[in-house]
Structure 1
């Protein structure tokens, strides 16, 4: 029997413009799209890796909640950064959220994100464990 697909929207204009969801849940798996420090069309914390990462992880947490999951269900994060030398600030914000959960994580440098003021974009995968 196929699992039901649930698309989670956050209401940004980009979702319809590009054709994506903030998160998608199929069965007990939740995938959260690349998330940046934006609210509406406003860039938050321009060029500030630690603050952007903190904000992004809050947005990811909300998307997970909307999908019936939580941060404790996260098994993987992928961090795309525009300056790998800022890894310590980004990693510190990540560690503050995931220090006890410890998902697998990847951090790679990319040449650009959608706006030059953005320095971090994060994706997450969560698997909701059976409570049986």
Structure 2
């Protein structure tokens, strides 16, 4: 029996680009870079704050499907498109990770679409 399981968000882009929303390998869960796309409203929130919360919701959903949670995150990479967003998103990061305190990296770089202001990638270790 394979220890590897793929989790999909249902996006057709996953098949086109050849990736999964998350991969479970044993107790490790690797969640792909996740933007703030709101799958219920089928749109991208405008502000970086709303996008950041939406990223965390999307990540939490993928982790839950993997039998994990934000409390199991051991590594996080944040990508923002403008250094000016840092002061707005730092307190939001703390809202989700104040107690967990995973190893973290913040990168300022361009993203795939101009409306995307933040992308978050996490690695979690499922609790036993």
- TM-score (norm: length of structure 2): 0.92
Runs of 4+ in 1 over 3 A off after TM superposition: none
Q: What is the CA distance between 1:43 and its match in structure 2?
A: 3.9
Q: Secondary structure at the match of 1:123?
A: strand
Aligned equivalent of 1:126 = 124
Gaps of 5+ in 2: none
- Mapping for residues 90-105 of structure 1, pairs under 5 Å: 90-105=89-104
Q: What is the CA distance between 1:3 and its match in structure 2?
A: 5.5
Q: What is the CA distance between 1:129 and its match in structure 2?
A: 3.3
Q: What is the CA distance between 1:49 and its match in structure 2?
A: 1.3
CA RMSD of aligned residues (A): 1.7
- TM-score (norm: length of structure 1): 0.89
Q: What is the CA distance between 1:90 and its match in structure 2?
A: 1.4
> In 2, distance between residues paired with 1:13 and 1:92?
33
Please tell me whether residue 108 in structure 1 is matched to residue 126 in structure 2. no
Aligned equivalent of 1:53 = 52
> In 2, distance between residues paired with 1:64 and 1:19?
20
Deviation per CA, 1:75-94, whole angstroms, max 9, x where unpaired?
11100111012111111111
- The alignment covers a number of residue pairs equal to 127
- Mapping for residues 72-91 of structure 1, pairs under 5 Å: 72-91=71-90
